[in-house]
Amino acid sequence: MVKIPECIEKSEYEKTLSSPPDTNKISPQTGDITLALAGNANVGKSVIFNYLTGSDQVVGNWPGKTVDRAEGNFQFNGQNIHIIDLPGIYSFSTFSMEEIVSREYIAHEKPDVVINVLDASVLERNLFFTLQLIEMEVPMVVCVNQMDIARAKGFEIDTKKLEKALGVPVVPTVAIHGEGLQKLIKSAVNTAQNKKKAQMDLEYGGEVEKAVKQLQTFLESEKVELDYSNRWVAIKLLENDPEINKLVESKQNRAIQLANYLALELEQIHDEPSFSIIASERYSLANRIAAGAQKQTEYKITLSEKLDKFLIHPVYGYFTSAMVIIGLLIWTFIVGNFLSELITNAMSFFQPVDPTLSGPIFAVLWNGAFGGLVAGLTLIVPFVIPFYIMLAYIENSGLLTRVAFMMDSFMQKIGLHGKALIPLILGYGCSVPAIDSTKILETKRERLLAAFAITFAPCSARTIIILSLVAVFVSIWWALALYVLDIFIIFVMGKLALKAMPGERTGLIMEMHSLRLPSSSTIIKQTWNRVKSLAYLVFPVFIVGSALIQVFYVLGILGPISNFMAPLTVGWLGLPVFAGILLIVGIVRKEFVLLTLVSFVGTNLALALTPVQFIVLALIGMLYIPCLSTISILIREFGVKSASVICIANLVTAFVVGGIVAHLLPFVM
């Protein structure tokens, strides 16, 4: 076998270490070694994963969960290795879905080796999670990554001392350049073959360690066997972990009674909750280990720290955050619209045909199926791909954490924290990637609240309606007024949703890593994996949905439905009777409202609608039920019930607000 150099160019590294792409090899085979990458967010796990697997990887969801699951294969010394990139977490609590799926995978699936990736520049903070992994007594190797950043900050890490303190192999790496990765995999393979589990030789403070050992001894004597180590279970019982309490209670209720007694003793001694006591002990131990392994040679103020003086400044920070948001909006409306125009021109050969002239079957296939394909292309290419590229840059550069930190107080008013701002902004471009990106939030409740707010944001398709109907035929000021009204509606509906979904608000807890320029290959792969999963959802929905609308049109079903809706569309909203058909076809995609209107009355829309009707129709198109692709992703992420409630809320809000505006506008215009 060719020896891989410690530092090597990325293209050579992938050729040497990675097996050729084979999408059929993702599932682990008999004899494979399974590695799991675990660690805090932003420590470089995904960089390591991408280097090792190349294009031989898939990204999906964990079974029954909405948390991303990345896995792939590569070969090393003739050995086929299956690797899982676990979500970035800070502990094994049950506060987030990411923490639950990570600890369940390690405990139940039992990977051959867990590679715990640390950020060398914040070693003490990362060791808090390392100690929890060691408590689980799993085979593991510690990867001290980003050694270059530590050196830039004036730190030197003695990995030999760290290895001696932790009792597990420790390998230094600079993953972005491929440094140390060969040694890391070699160490992981040796650990897997020797089947050596981590052992906790280090101990906590006197009374805490005494309580842990007493409870651990009781569990062993009563033969309470779980997939987790007895020491880890004992600590979790003292922390009052609800899931572990349930598991142990079903086997030995006396263990719960003993744990409660010991926890109460600790709380009386320390005068604070038991879980806080355990956390303090871990941090104290992590501090001692880090202090013994790292040496500060010379303190250097990095460029990232200099920029942070502006990015998170109490005053200037709001301006820099606003610039990031404005930049996203410019990207949304200028770049997206420019690409959309190019694609629309390229697809100009597609023109809807009249079923009475061309035949119903050809009309269904051309207007429906092929029209849906064209609609999918004009969504994915100009809007979804640029959004995901920009989102990947914001996430990986560290800008996201800064903007989220500054906007946290505002977002808390609707029950969310600052990180929810990014998906909400993306919603102004396209609701589909925006809702998909709510996965960056910690709890399902927060994701659902964010998705609910996103469905009220005027996406690019709704913007087309607003600009084409109001800005062109009324005035640009009335178009801007609709945007202002929409922001007010998002705020009000967010407050109502917050009352309808009571629950504990989650504080903003994020790793604010150093600013850095992301790797282009990481951005491309991350964007491609996200786009690929969405394309599988969007294209079938558009094609089938467009074909069904054409079938309904050919069968003459839309006309009676429109007449049935007349009391609402004509009586309450003051729109022409054909507005019912516009709203029906708009469910497939919002631009169909405008396209169908043009097909009915021609390009001079002012002959068919009054200024008030233009505004009301644009307002209804902006607020009412989301398009089919948005409904599909809502169902995929949150289930049919939640998606239905969101759609009904959109529908009711649109018709209530639209009717009020329709009755008030004649007095002000």
From residue 434, give the alpha-carbon distance in Å to each of 64, 428, 536: 21, 9, 17
Query: Which pair of structure tokens corresponds to residue 245?
Result: 């309490």
DSSP letter assigned to residue 86? P
Contact 153/163 with Cβ under 8 angstroms?
no
57 annotated as belonging to a binding site for a ligand: no
DSSP 555: T
Give one word for 223, left, alpha or beta, with left for phi > 0 and alpha for psi -120 to 50: left
- Please indicate if the annotation marks 42 as binding a ligand: yes
88 is in an annotated binding site: yes
39 labelled binding-site residue: yes
* 60 labelled ligand-binding: no
309 labeled part of a ligand binding site: no
45 known ligand binder: yes
46 is in an annotated binding site: yes
- Does the annotation place 64 within a ligand binding site? yes
Question: What are residue 142's DSSP bridge partners?
Answer: 116, 170
Distance between CA atoms of 281 and 276, rounded to whole angstroms? 9
Q: Is 66 annotated as a binding residue?
A: yes
Residue 32 is assigned to a ligand binding site: no
Residue 415 annotated as part of some ligand binding site:
no
- Determine the Cα–Cα distance for residues 440 and 422; give it in Å rounded to an integer: 10
Strand order across the 57-61 sheet: 57-61, 68-76, 79-85, 33-39, 113-119, 140-145, 170-172
**Is 87 known as a binding-site position?**
yes
Residue 43 is assigned to a ligand binding site? yes
Q: Residue 347 phi/psi, 5° resolution?
A: -100, 20
Strand pairing report for 140-145 and 113-119: parallel
CB burial of 72-103 (b: ≥16 within 10 Å; e: otherwise) equals bbbebeeebbbbbbbbbbbbbbeebbbbbbbb
Confirm whether residue 50 is marked as ligand binding: yes
Q: Judge whether 3 is annotated as a binding position.
A: no
The answer on whether 327 is annotated among ligand-binding residues is no
146 is in an annotated binding site: yes
Q: Has 147 been labeled as part of a binding site?
A: yes
Residue 44 is assigned to a ligand binding site: yes
Q: Is 227 annotated as a binding residue?
A: no
- Helix (H) or strand (E) run with residue 36 in it: strand 33-39
Count of beta carbons in the 10 Å neighbourhood of residue 8: 18
Residue 484, annotated as binding a ligand: no
Report d(CA 464, CA 458) in Å as an integer: 9
3-state secondary structure 582-633: HHHHCCCCCHHHHHHHHHHHCCCHHHCCCHHHHHHHHHHHHHCCCCHHHHHH
Residue ranges of the binding site for GTP: 39-46, 64-68, 85-88, 145-148
Residue ranges of the binding site for Mg(2+): 50, 53-54
Residue ranges of the binding site: 39-46, 50, 53-54, 64-68, 85-88, 145-148
